[in-house]
Amino acid sequence: MQNEAMSDIANRVAAIRERISAAAQRAGRDPSEITLVVVTKTQPIARIEQAIAAGIVHLGENRVQEALPKIAALQHARPTWHLIGHLQRNKARNAALFFDTIHALDSLRLAELLNRARAESTPAERRPLPVLLQINISGEAQKEGFALTGGREDQQHWPALLVDIAQIAALPYLRIEGLMTIAPFTSDPQTTRPVFRSLRHLRDRLARHFPGIAWQHLSMGMTNDFEIAIEEGATLVRIGRAIFGERTS
Ligand SMILES: *Cc1c(COP(=O)(O)O)cnc(C)c1O
């Protein structure tokens, strides 16, 4: 049974890699520009180890409390840990100390807390923490992130966003590397493609405003929609169910 399960996860990883390559080629992109972040929330250590055995290096969790024991248990494998979910301020310290990159930075206040935690850490960990700014492009009320929908209301949000970004960029122990978004939960490309395209356009616009920031990453695309996201420029895709199956909890 163990072996069967193992090959199952390895097979799914291989299948996803193929689909990533095919989507990249359709868009005239080099598949090596795209990093597969395997989302391990709700998965036990043994199954995560199977993904690692299949060559996966980048792991994503959306809750700090759930992630900490996994990070400790898998230390020997030296994976790169991505925090992909909304971060509460009282978890900022552990997030800054135990994660390698934060995808869902959604306020200046949170950035300041992450920066301070990193500043107070051991010299070895005092390197700048890579962060992505989460943007609520689809404008759904229940979604986290800086508000910027590409619509008319942006006239008021845009100047505020520029001020926040300037201040985050000035924090010495954080490094802005790009943007992240979550599309509406659907596999309909007519809904998701404009969301991903807007995030790319926003990135291009911010790159003109802040040429000193690299802006190299677009974290977008999940099981339902990662191929569309890659066609629209994703560099980090966050995939859980397509590798581990439907979550039961
Ligand atoms: C759970 C989660 C994912 C992975 O979603 P799947 O549908 O399982 O691929 C990606 N991003 C975030 C922010 C998530 O919370």
Give the tens place of pLDDT for each residue, 195-234.
Answer: 999 999 999 999 999 999 999 999 999 999 999 999 999 9
How far apart CA 242 and CA 240 sit, in angstroms, is 6
Q: 204, 140, 139, 145: which is closest to 178 by C-alpha?
A: 204
More confident residue, 144 or 208: 208
Q: Which atom of ligand 1 is nearest to the CA of 39?
A: 4
- H-helix or E-strand spanning residue 238: strand 236-239
Mutate to test the pocket of ligand 1, among 238, 239, 241, 248 (most ligand atoms within 8 A of CB): 238
Q: How far is the CA of 61 from the centre of ligand 1 (A)?
A: 9
Q: 46, 47, 51: which is closest to 36 by C-alpha?
A: 51
Tell me what pLDDT residue 205 has: 93
Q: Name the DSSP class of 32.
A: G
- Residue 89 Cβ contacting ligand 1 at under 6 Å: no
- Residue 241 Cβ contacting ligand 1 at under 6 Å: yes
User: Which pair of tokens denotes residue 205?
Assistant: 């616009």
Cβ atoms of 111 and 168 closer than 8 Å: yes
User: Which pair of tokens denotes residue 130?
Assistant: 């890579």
Global confidence as pTM: 0.94
Give the tens place of pLDDT for each residue, 26-54.
Answer: 999 999 999 999 999 999 999 999 999 99
Q: How far is the CA of 159 from the centre of ligand 1 (A)?
A: 30
Q: How far is the CA of 128 from the centre of ligand 1 (A)?
A: 26
User: Which pair of tokens denotes residue 106?
Assistant: 């959604």
Tell me what pLDDT residue 148 has: 75
Give the tens place of pLDDT for each residue, 167-181.
Answer: 999 999 999 999 999
- Residue 239 Cβ contacting ligand 1 at under 6 Å: yes
Cβ atoms of 235 and 34 closer than 8 Å: yes
